[in-house]
Chain A
Amino acid sequence: MSAPSRWKQTLTPYLFLAPAAAVLGMFMLWAMVQVVFYSFTRYTAFRGPDPVGLENYRRLLADSRFWWCLFNSFLYLLVTPAVILLSLQAALLVHAGLRWARGLRVWLFLPVVTPAIVAAIAWRLLLNEDAGLLNSALGLLGAGPVYWLSDRPWTLISAMLVTLWRGFGYYMMIFLAGLAAVPRELEEAATIDGAGRIDILRHVTLPALRPLIVLVAVISSISALKVFDELYVTVRGAPVSHQTVVPLIYDTAFERGDYGYASAIGVTLFVVVLAFSLLQLRLAERDA
């Protein structure tokens, strides 16, 4: 082989990789390095970054806005068990193959493709405090009104409703894939042994789905920690203490221009997300 063509062969894989590596390197890996660096600096829209050591993190410890938002982010994780239950229910229902409900799967997935801001606006209508459908219905029952969009903890619950609504169809698909893989023979054998439906569900189907339930728990709680759109729109007008961590990052960086401090909040969020995924994977391993 001649020298130029050997060169060409050596270079080829790198040329294929170059565009993707440039994008991921500059906008992901380098950005991650930068955000850690910024978190140790005073950096605003007007000046910086000037290194200040741990000052931003000291500020975090004393900042009640931050603690409220972090607390709310953890509360937001309650959406995970709810979304698992609902999506599992939906998957079992679709998997049962009801004769007159063939299109169910397609319909239940519609909320997933609805942009979050549209979903939030639609729910704001239903949750409208003076005239929304929910409060009107509660009024007929002689209850309410509930201040869905301005009172704690309803503000958070309202946003969680939107997250739940947009999420369950997606996880339902994951469970459906799992249900399709449960061996029929197992269920049949159990029936022959005289097991009822509930027994089969508890002792055959659910154990078979266990790894997927863990997967969905990991995915949905990570996305709960990262939530922005729903909250930003649903509880617009409520104080920052009704928000979670990502809206706080947005507010700190792009409304107040405090980049260094926003970076410190970002790094904290990164650590929480990482710890959370490692913890859940560890639990999954121990179970397996």
Chain B
Amino acid sequence: MIDRRPAWLTVSMYAAALLLALLAVGPCVWLLAVALSSTEVPLSRLPGPDELTLDNFRGVWSEAGMGKALLNSVIVTVAQALLNVLLAALAAYPLARMRFRGRSLIFVLILSTMMIPEQVIVVPLFRTIVGLGLYDTLIAVVLPFSVTAFGIFLCRQAFLAIPLSLEEAARIDGAGSLRIWWHVMLPLARPALATLAVFSVIGAWSALLWPLIVLQEQDKFTLPVAVNQLLSVFATNVRYAYAGSVLAVIPVLAFYLLAQRWLIRGLMSGAVKG
């Protein structure tokens, strides 16, 4: 046993913990307070109980099309997470379990895409999307990022950890590769797949740069793009942007609190993403 902590140390550790927790949640709480207060309340203080109002939320919901943006964000996020898991798990199976020509070359090429930042290739991505006739569609938002090397790598590691004997037993029973993948590999790799799904959801929900590039009409906007527009000089009421931001953060916070088990587990097991 390490000796007991002296009292002064315990006290200062609690103080530091409190400070960090305030730092972590403070800005969002302040944002919520300002979004809930009427325009007369100055930004430098919190609103009193009689100065609270839902006007900003009502306004942003009815005038700025936040309902549609919320729906678009949900569609994009769910699609991206499902595709990320599905395509990565499909690709990872032969990489983990089959012998075929070109396997190591393909694996190296897949991993090499981790070195390519999205920000570097936005121009050709944009030209390709325009060329495919997908500009200003939700498909354009999802398609280029529907699978990642990180996801394939994560799934491959999970598959490698599954005992070969289970697969052999299924094969003797006459199961084909697709059935083994579905009935043996996927269920046993569930923790890794869940981690990947949680990462994808959070990433897709926050994405700004790419949706900003490929979306044009307001009724296609995802939440970050819609909030960004509320900040523009043409916006009527800047408090709408605050209310919109709150609407954009609540679903992902709720999701995080529900799914944090998978997220923290993934992070703690070293599933690190750059």
1/0 per residue, CB under 8 A from B, across A16-56: the answer is 11011101101111111011001000000000000000000
Query: Among residues 197 to 220 in chain A, which have CB atoms less than 8 Å away from a CB atom of chain B?
Result: 197, 200, 215, 218-219
CB atoms of A259 and B90 under 8 A apart: no
Residues of B within 8 A of A173 (CB): 264, 267-268
Cβ contact of B16, chosen from A89, A100, A112, cutoff 8 A: A89
Task: Give the CA-CA distance A196 to B35 in the complex, in Å.
Answer: 49
Q: Number of residues in B with C-beta < 8 Å to the partner? A: 91
CB atoms of B268 and A26 under 8 A apart: no
Task: Give the CA-CA distance A223 to B264 in the complex, in Å.
Answer: 21
CB atoms of A121 and B123 under 8 A apart: no
Q: Which B-chain residue is minimally distant from A14 (CB atoms)? A: B100
Looking at A27, A108, A187, the one whose CB has the most chain B CB atoms below 10 A away is A27
Task: Give the CA-CA distance A123 to B31 in the complex, in Å.
Answer: 9
Q: Which A-chain residue is minimally distant from B222 (CB atoms)? A: A115
Stretch at the interface among A58-66, A75-83, A131-139: A131-139
CB atoms of A93 and B268 under 8 A apart: no
Binding site of A, secondary structure by majority: helix, strand, loop or mixed? helix
Residues of B within 8 A of A229 (CB): 206, 208-209, 224
Would you call B71 an interface residue if the criterion is a C-beta within 8 Å of the partner chain's C-beta atoms? no
CB atoms of B126 and A253 under 8 A apart: yes
CB atoms of B267 and A126 under 8 A apart: no
Task: Give the CA-CA distance A270 to B118 in the complex, in Å.
Answer: 10
Residues of A within 8 A of B100 (CB): 10, 13-14
CB atoms of A233 and B252 under 8 A apart: no
1/0 per residue, CB under 8 A from A, across B31-51: the answer is 100100000001110000000
CB atoms of A29 and B14 under 8 A apart: no
Would you call A182 an interface residue if the criterion is a C-beta within 8 Å of the partner chain's C-beta atoms? no
Q: Which A-chain residue is minimally distant from B121 (CB atoms)? A: A31
A247 CB to nearest chain B CB (Å): 9
Query: Among residues 153 to 178 in chain A, which have CB atoms less than 8 Å away from a CB atom of chain B?
Result: 165, 169-170, 173-174, 176-177
CB atoms of B128 and A26 under 8 A apart: yes
CB atoms of B123 and A222 under 8 A apart: no
CB atoms of B43 and A128 under 8 A apart: yes
CB atoms of A219 and B274 under 8 A apart: yes
Cβ contact of A117, chosen from B14, B103, B227, cutoff 8 A: B227
Stretch at the interface among B58-66, B105-113, B161-169, B189-197: B105-113
B246 CB to nearest chain A CB (Å): 8
Task: Give the CA-CA distance A176 to B47 in the complex, in Å.
Answer: 38
CB atoms of B177 and A96 under 8 A apart: no
CB atoms of A38 and B14 under 8 A apart: no
CB atoms of A270 and B94 under 8 A apart: no
Residues of A within 8 A of B228 (CB): 117, 232-233
Binding site of B, secondary structure by majority: helix, strand, loop or mixed? helix
Q: Which A-chain residue is minimally distant from B250 (CB atoms)? A: A118
Size class of the contact patch on chain A? 35 or more
CB atoms of B267 and A35 under 8 A apart: no
1/0 per residue, CB under 8 A from B, across A93-114: the answer is 1001010110011111111111
Would you call A149 an interface residue if the criterion is a C-beta within 8 Å of the partner chain's C-beta atoms? no
CB atoms of B264 and A228 under 8 A apart: no
CB atoms of A125 and B30 under 8 A apart: yes
A73 CB to nearest chain B CB (Å): 11
Task: Give the CA-CA distance A135 to B123 in the complex, in Å.
Answer: 40
Residues of A within 8 A of B30 (CB): 122, 125-126, 133
Q: Which B-chain residue is minimally distant from A13 (CB atoms)? A: B94
1/0 per residue, CB under 8 A from A, across B203-233: the answer is 0011011001100000000011001100100
Q: Please list the residues of chain A having a beta carbon within 8 angstroms of any beta carbon in chain B.
A: 10, 12-14, 16-17, 19-21, 23-24, 26-32, 34-35, 38, 89-90, 93, 96, 98, 100-101, 104-119, 121-123, 125-126, 128, 130-133, 136, 165, 169-170, 173-174, 176-177, 180, 187-188, 191, 197, 200, 215, 218-219, 222-223, 226, 228-229, 232-233, 236, 246, 249-250, 253-254, 259, 262-263, 266-267, 269-270, 273-274, 277
Nearest 3 Cβ contacts at the A-B interface: A13-B94, A20-B91, A34-B124
**Given contact pairs A13-B98, A27-B144, a sample of 6 additional A-B residue pairs in the complex whose CB atoms are under 8 Å apart:** A34-B124, A101-B17, A101-B21, A109-B264, A117-B206, A177-B270
Q: Could you name 25 residue pairs across A and B whose Cβ atoms are closer than 8 Å? A: A13-B100, A14-B94, A20-B147, A27-B128, A30-B124, A32-B120, A32-B124, A90-B20, A104-B21, A108-B20, A110-B25, A111-B28, A113-B206, A115-B224, A116-B224, A118-B248, A121-B241, A125-B43, A169-B24, A191-B3, A226-B118, A228-B208, A232-B208, A253-B126, A270-B120
